Copies of this chain bind each other. A is one copy, B any other.
Amino acid sequence: MGASQRPTIKTVAARAGVGRTTVSRVINGSPLVSDRARAAVEAAIAELNYVPNSVARGLVTSRTNSIALVIPEAESRLDSEPYFSAVIRGVSTGLVDTKTQLQLVLVRDKGELDQLTESVAERRVDGVLLVSVHRDDPIPGLLEEFGLPTVLAGRRSPSEPLSHVRSDNLGGAEEAVRHLLGRGRRKVATITGPLDMEVGRSRLQGWRNALREACREPEEVLVARADFTEKSGQRAMRELLRRVPDLDAVFVASDVMAAGALVELRAQGRRVPEDVAVVGFDDSIIARHTTPSLTSVRQPVEEIGSAIARILIQEISDPKTPRRHVVLPTTLVVRDSS
């Protein structure tokens, strides 16, 4: 048969012997319909195989029933980081039985940013999920200007006004460093992520806290900055070994960077964990495949995804909902590198 002529609400009304409005009421679950009418309409809908046209509905309700998940990906990290995949999976889970569709928007360059802007201006989404935000990210401001509900995974700064969900980066980092100290390590260095991102800053702060807690000074010479890529991790490790040849542990702010660090350690003939213990962050798939396998701080990425989705849906349906700031706990997964 094919698509030929889709039935409209009128067809259904005629078939059921009622008015359009009654059909609309049934569809939208209004209680102001007699049982008789409701039954007739439901029968007609089933017979005709009627499906409401969401575009037409959207025109009058000015709702699209879809949200955007925006992934800025300047560093082309999507491939190397299961992080994004897990977020996507979580978001999708959080959207189940909400009838909300998920638009995926990759913002890699100016052109794609413009496309996002246009899409937002055209009101093609009811709200936006934002991942991996930088301190001076232009996107949140853009969305605010358009008055579009927005929820972040992570936050721009400790005073983030927008709703957001993040994992306990500070606590996770502290735990990782405490673990290293507990193993008897005395010179614990760290490789940080970009410091224009809260994740980067708070993981660094966690390292500092744990050292101070153990009455050790978090000296600047023990800190090497990188940008979440493997190469930058390797470079940072080289730098650290040059500056502090006798370090015996490194806390690395991501697994991918830790993999790079391991490469460098091996290249310089340091044994892991005997000479230098290493702890990563994320507990991503590569943690299990490095040599040695990598101790890492697991964060509940999928839960973050479903949480931001649910919060956004909530804010869309009731814009007056107070903003929420959620922190999810991390867990240390100990493997062979420490």
Contacts and interface: CB of A to CB of B under 8 A. Distances in A.
A92 B121 contact: no
Contacts of A121: 51
A111 B85 contact: no
Contacts of A53: 59, 122-123
Nearest to A92: B106
A112 B92 CA distance: 9
Interface in A1-16: 2-3, 6
Interface stretch (A75-83, A159-167, A323-331): A75-83
A103 B76 CA distance: 20
A231 B159 CA distance: 44
A290 interface: yes
Interface stretch (A94-102, A130-138, A181-189, A270-278): A94-102
B55 A3 contact: no
- Residue among A3, A106, A285 with the most chain B CB within 10 A? A285
A64 interface: yes
Contact of A78 (B89, B102, B290): B89
Contact of A289 (B52, B59, B147, B259): B259
A125 to B, nearest CB: 9
Interface in A63-117: 64, 66, 69, 73, 76, 78-80, 82, 84-86, 88-89, 92, 96-97, 99, 101-106, 108, 111-112, 115
Nearest to A117: B51
A282 B86 CA distance: 20
A112 B124 contact: no
B54 A147 contact: no
Nearest to A121: B51
Nearest to A2: B147
A314 interface: no
Given A92-B106, A104-B92, A290-B289, A55 B123 contact: yes
Contact of A84 (B85, B106, B259): B85
Contact of A85 (B59, B85, B146): B85
Given A82-B80, A89-B78, A286-B286, A122 B52 contact: yes
Contact of A286 (B78, B84, B285): B285
Contacts of A124: 54-55, 66, 101
A285 B285 CA distance: 10
A58 interface: yes
Contacts of A96: 111-112, 115
Interface in A275-325: 285-286, 289-291
Nearest to A1: B145
Contacts of A97: 111, 115
19 contacts: A2-B145, A2-B147, A51-B118, A51-B122, A53-B59, A53-B123, A54-B123, A73-B89, A76-B89, A79-B86, A79-B89, A80-B285, A84-B85, A92-B106, A96-B112, A101-B124, A103-B103, A103-B104, A289-B289
Given A55-B59, A259-B289, A289-B290, 4 more contacts: A79-B82, A99-B118, A101-B105, A291-B291
